[in-house]
Amino acid sequence: YAEVIGYGSSADAFHMAAPHEEGRGAVDAMNMALRKARAYGVEPANLDYINAHGTATQLNDKGETLAIKQVLGEHAYNVKISSTKSMTGHLLAGAGAIETIVCAKVISTNKIPPTINLHNPDPMCDLNYTPLTAVEADVKVALSNSFGFGGHNACIMLRRLPND
């Protein structure tokens, strides 16, 4: 389906249950994954899809949105984003693995899963979120964000296999 081309992890240790308001740890983890992806010729502007950590909490969603903007700049508004936690619930330790599999399937099927029940997005969360129904898009590069309790942050970047 896809190959791993980058990963990043950080620990911001800001609060046991709340993310850093400016998304510092998330920024660090995403930047690490993107730096490693450059070895494969992939630049931030090549990113097509993000499976957001997206817990539907104000602190997390605003912080993640801000972090994505800091990392991608204007390209952040072009990337398709959804949160599959809206369908699976928060799988805690299993979330990162399942959401990485989702990214591989998005790359292989070119179908972006929806963020169900996203009827009224917070105005602070103003990126290209995919609400309510799946959409088709040409996805060659995807990023999965997982930000856990205690400030543990992990991101993994995948791309379509070169000959697919």
Residue type, 81: I
- DSSP letter string, 103-134: HHHHHHH-EEPPBTT-SS--TT--SEE-BSS-
Domain ranges of the chain: 2-10+21-147
Confidence (pLDDT) at 104: 98
Which tens digit of pLDDT belongs to each residue from 72-117? Answer: 999 999 999 999 988 888 888 888 899 999 999 999 999 999 999 9
Closest CA to 80 of 48, 120, 113, 121: 48
Average pLDDT, the chain: 92
Tell me which of 1.20.1440.230, 3.40.50.620, 3.40.47.10, 2.30.250.10 is the CATH number of domain 2-10+21-147. 3.40.47.10
**According to the 3-state scheme, what is the secondary structure of 3-49?**
EEEEEEEEECCCCCCCCCCCCHHHHHHHHHHHHHHHHHCCCHHHCCE
- Please say if the pLDDT value at position 12 is more than 90: no
